[in-house]
Amino acid sequence: VILGAQWGDEGKGKITDLLAAEADIVARFAGGDNAGHTVIVGEEHFALHLIPSGVLNAETRCFLGGAMVINPKKLLAEMDGLASRGIQISPERIGVSGLAHLIMPYHLALDGAAEAARGGSALGTTKRGIGPAYTDKAARTGIRAQEMLRPPDEFARRIQEQVMAKNLVLREVYGQAALDPEAISDEYLGYADRLRPFVCDVAAEMGSALRAGSRVLAEGAQGTLLDLDHGSYPYVTSSYPTIGGVCIGLGVGPQQIERVVGVVKAYQTRVGAGPMP
């Protein structure tokens, strides 16, 4: 397991890329596209936000874990960008957990509206819908990646119901314009057509791989001091970038973790607002 020991941005992507050369599987276990790992290969720079850094190693299988929140539009753009640079992108290389929650347009709208309403007390979020997506997950109203496998009319109905519910909040609480339920469901049905082959049972595949003796590398995002419980609350992320997040996000037991690498850098930076020495 590779974890950030500060506020993130410690260079975990470089370490992951280095150790991925020895790994059969590299898996992200938490967070969304608010994370960014930059890896330099020769003269080429790769900026990765959702796909694990191990994707740059041709023999490595990559997983997006169940405790992640995934913006399908951003994931497809990242896949297309890598494919255009000669990186193989296929369901054999990348698996997306069916348990992961989808970031919807209303999550981005709510994120921006809530930050604006906080004024001088803003949290400094990336406004990418991460927090509202995790809010829906905890409220048991979120839409999971596995719902893209449902018949199109059922998936569209689920989306439209959620858009209409969030429109009430956007209009009545924040005074924002309502979103178009049908336009959003049509957009996400298109994403589902492309992403459906990548959806899999990550926990089951991880279990089989570990029993078979495969070398698995879990790639952290953000850092310890952004942990929802153990970080500098409330100026934190909405997930668990610490060691417990590995077990939750990938469905593995703690006894299966053999080595933990904490990455630090000699100076400190942090994204967003909040206290910092």
Residues annotated as catalytic are 9, 37
- Residues 160 and 152: their CA atoms lie apart, in Å, by 12
CB 97, CB 28: distance < 8 Å: no
- Residues 76 and 148: their CA atoms lie apart, in Å, by 14
How crowded is the C-beta side of 264, counted as CA atoms within 13 Å? 7
User: With left for phi above 0 and alpha for psi between -120 and 50, is residue 79 left, alpha or beta?
Assistant: alpha
Residues 6+ apart with CB under 8 A from 89: 55, 79, 80, 82, 83
Give Cα separations from 54 to 12, 19, 84, 244 (angstroms): 12, 9, 17, 21
Residue type at position 265:
K
- Residues 100 and 72: their CA atoms lie apart, in Å, by 11
Q: Which residues pair with 101 in a beta bridge?
A: 69, 144
Strands (E), the chain: 2-4, 25-31, 37-41, 44-48, 61-70, 94-97, 101-102, 199-200, 216-219, 261-263
